[in-house]
Amino acid sequence: MSTVELTKDNFDEIVSDNEFVLIDFWASWCGPCRQFGPVFEAASERHQDLVFAKVDTEAQQELAAAFEIQSIPTLMIVRDKVAVFAQPGALPEVALEDLIGQARKLDMDEVRKSVADAQAQGARSSSRSGGTAGTREGYGRSSRTPLRRVRAGSALQDQGEALADADAERGEARARAGRRELVRHGPG
């Protein structure tokens, strides 16, 4: 199956009518995007049961802005109208295949529960602060296709963020230890 071009006009329909959509946010001038393009196309041929879609961020600036795309290429995976993964960077074929496998294995009931919990927590925070927090409802013009996007809690990203947090904590601990040594023994 070839990829589908996503626009603000067909986005709601494609995401609503399909349970599993991989979205590549790209631009023609972007070298890493051109590198990732053939990998994405090849995966679309191997996974004909999934929808592979592309958003040209130059032509669809409103759509890219709605999803706060700041770096391209960005890959987003949407399952059952929930964005379960969004991350910039050109993935090699093996990493993309692994990611697709992980996304296939997600327990969507658990993901929806997590989204509901985040929304409830965001609503509580929002009611105290007068703002919005936690999740984003939907892209744009139509409310008939709510796309729930968990900002800092997608199921696949949680694993990566936990590893990054652990690495950061180890780095901070090493830096603190180094400062203590410097204070204890002097600069030199």
Catalytic residues: 30, 33
What value, to the nearest 5°, has the Cα angle with vertex 57 and ends 54 and 112?
60
DSSP string, 33-79: HHHHHHHHHHHHHH-TTSEEEEEETTTTHHHHHHTT--SSSEEEEEE
Q: Are 82 and 108 in contact (CB under 8 A)?
A: yes
Q: What is the DSSP letter of 91?
A: P
Strands 82-88 and 51-56, sheet pairing? unpaired
Helices 93-105 + 31-46 axis angle, to 10:
50
Going by C-alpha positions, the residue among 157, 124, 122 that lies closest to residue 137 is 122
